[in-house]
Amino acid sequence: MNIGVDRISFCTSNYFVDLKTLAHARSVDPDKYYVGIGQEKMGIPPPDEDVVTLAASAAYPLMRDGELGDVELLLFATETGIDQSKAAGIYVHGLLDMSPRCRTVELKQACYSGTAALQLAIGFVARNPQKKALVLSSDIARYELGSPGEATQGCGAVAMLVSANPRLVAIEPECGYYTEDVMDFWRPNYRSEALVDGKYSTMVYIHALLESWKQYADQTGRTLADFDRFCYHIPFTKMAEKAHQKLARKLKVEIGKDEMLALLEESLRYSRITGNCYTASMYVGLASLLDTAEEDLTGKRIGLYSYGSGCVGEFFSGVVQPGYREFLYADQHRNLLDNRTELTYQQYEDIYNYGVPTDAGEYVFPQYKTGPFRFSGISQHKREYESLVE
């Protein structure tokens, strides 16, 4: 029985900063961002957007299309946790009016936990083939103003329905994974911005890739020639390109720039203009690949590499299913990305500094967000959400 991704829907903020604007403010050559790290825009969440509204908005089309009826497991992956106790997925469960007969839990391991959620969901479906799981990966990448990481900020969420006989991508059973205790990127509970040892983090990302690949290749006997496309975790698009080059070099495979772009480029299109979405990032890449590839990908094998600092890496693979194009949300994604509002530098800094109140007062947030759900305020430490759909 095949198990895997049956539907995939993505959401990012309605607002973005062009990295030319940031480059000007930081007196940096824009090509450092556009070319050097391969990023053009970063999605910026307004005060009434958080990981709950991003995830609920990503999953909304699934609800609208009646796809959530058989879901009995909701896994919410994030490293932008909003509460030390309550799972963010429970707010989403409420906003989407899902059945109470559902297991809901939040998972954390930096950018990797979306993949942990997907693999756990596959295990659940293997045991309960009539049931489905909803995997939500949702994050807001936030670094200090003026820091090297600033240009790699972004935000977004991906909702994936996981089922038997999936209509999009069957995930193959073999996978290689790797854990090592390192401090390359982390965020203590008392901070709202990540701390990162940037150059070191890129080295650990690649080390974990090589180790994960080794186990995957041992299990499957596959070589790079067995793959038609690759999706990497994308903190910035250049990182994915560099990772693939390093893997090819390690395996003594000659790969030219054009050949590499043919394997990766479609998966990088969305991330180049949303920025890092942490747990959602590789799955934004998967949506980008499926939505924008001109070639029919039916039967093609995709190599997937997920990385979460700290660190855990995993290499696995999936095969695109016949008829997949009929079940994509490509038009909706294009529409979302084409209709965002550009922020000035000052608007960006004002939003950056807004800060969620931490006292027991009553707060109503100004409305920036245009639906379907918004984070409308806080009352006595309780988050309040509003549905904007009729």
38 part of the interface to ligand CAA, by CB under 6 A? no
Which of these ranges, 121-129, 164-172, 234-242, 358-366, lies near ligand CAA under the rule CB under 6 A?
Answer: 234-242
- Annotated catalytic residue within 233, 266, 311, 314: 233
Phi, psi (degrees; rounded to nearest 5) at 16? -150, 160
278 part of the interface to ligand CAA, by CB under 6 A? yes
184 touches 198 (CB < 8 A)? no
Binding map of ligand CAA across residues 174-193, x = CB under 6 A, - = no contact: -----------x--------
d(CA 89, CA 113): 14
374 part of the interface to ligand CAA, by CB under 6 A? no
Phi, psi (degrees; rounded to nearest 5) at 372? -80, -15
Q: In what order do the strands lie in the sheet with 103-107?
A: 103-107, 71-77, 132-141, 154-164, 3-11, 169-179, 312-320, 301-308, 229-232
Helix (H, G, I), strand (E, B) or coil at 7: strand
Helix (H, G, I), strand (E, B) or coil at 296: coil
Which of these ranges, 35-43, 70-78, 284-292, 330-338, lies near ligand CAA under the rule CB under 6 A?
Answer: 35-43
Question: Which one, 9 or 237, has the nearer CB to ligand CAA?
Answer: 237
Active site residue 79: yes
In whole angstroms, the minimum distance from the beta carbon of 276 to ligand CAA comes to 5
Active site residue 111: yes
In whole angstroms, the minimum distance from the beta carbon of 292 to ligand CAA comes to 22
Active site residue 259: no
Q: Give the number of residues written for the chain.
A: 390
Question: Alpha helices of the chain — where are they, by DSSP H?
Answer: 19-25, 30-31, 51-64, 88-95, 113-127, 198-220, 237-250, 257-268, 271-274, 281-292, 330-338, 345-352
In whole angstroms, the minimum distance from the beta carbon of 239 to ligand CAA comes to 5
Residues of this chain, 197-216, that bind ligand CAA according to CB under 6 A: 198-199, 201-202, 205
- Annotated catalytic residue within 79, 106, 150, 172: 79
Q: Enumerate the β-bridge partners of residue 9.
A: 159
Q: What is the DSSP string of 56-117?
A: HHHHHHHHHTT--TTEEEEEEE-SS-S-SSS-HHHHHHHHTT--SS-EEEEE-BTBTHHHHH
How many CB atoms neighbour CB 90 within 10 A? Answer: 18
Which of these ranges, 45-53, 129-137, 196-204, 326-334, lies near ligand CAA under the rule CB under 6 A?
Answer: 196-204
In whole angstroms, the minimum distance from the beta carbon of 224 to ligand CAA comes to 21
Position among 235, 275, 303, 318 found at the interface with ligand CAA (CB under 6 A): 235
Which of these ranges, 121-129, 175-183, 230-238, 333-341, lies near ligand CAA under the rule CB under 6 A?
Answer: 230-238
Position among 46, 47, 149, 176 found at the interface with ligand CAA (CB under 6 A): 149
- Annotated catalytic residue within 11, 72, 93, 111: 111
Distant-in-sequence, close-in-space partners of 365: CB < 8 Å, separation ≥ 6: 47, 48, 374, 375, 376, 377
d(CA 193, CA 202): 19
111 part of the interface to ligand CAA, by CB under 6 A? yes
287, 380, 375: which is closest to 88 by C-alpha? 375
Question: Which one, 271 or 321, has the nearer CB to ligand CAA?
Answer: 271
Residues of this chain, 239-258, that bind ligand CAA according to CB under 6 A: 239
309 part of the interface to ligand CAA, by CB under 6 A? yes
Where on the chain is the footprint of ligand CAA (CB under 6 A)? Answer: 29, 31-32, 35-37, 111, 148-149, 152, 185, 196, 198-199, 201-202, 205, 233, 235-236, 239, 276, 278, 307, 309
Which residues carry out catalysis?
A: 79, 111, 233
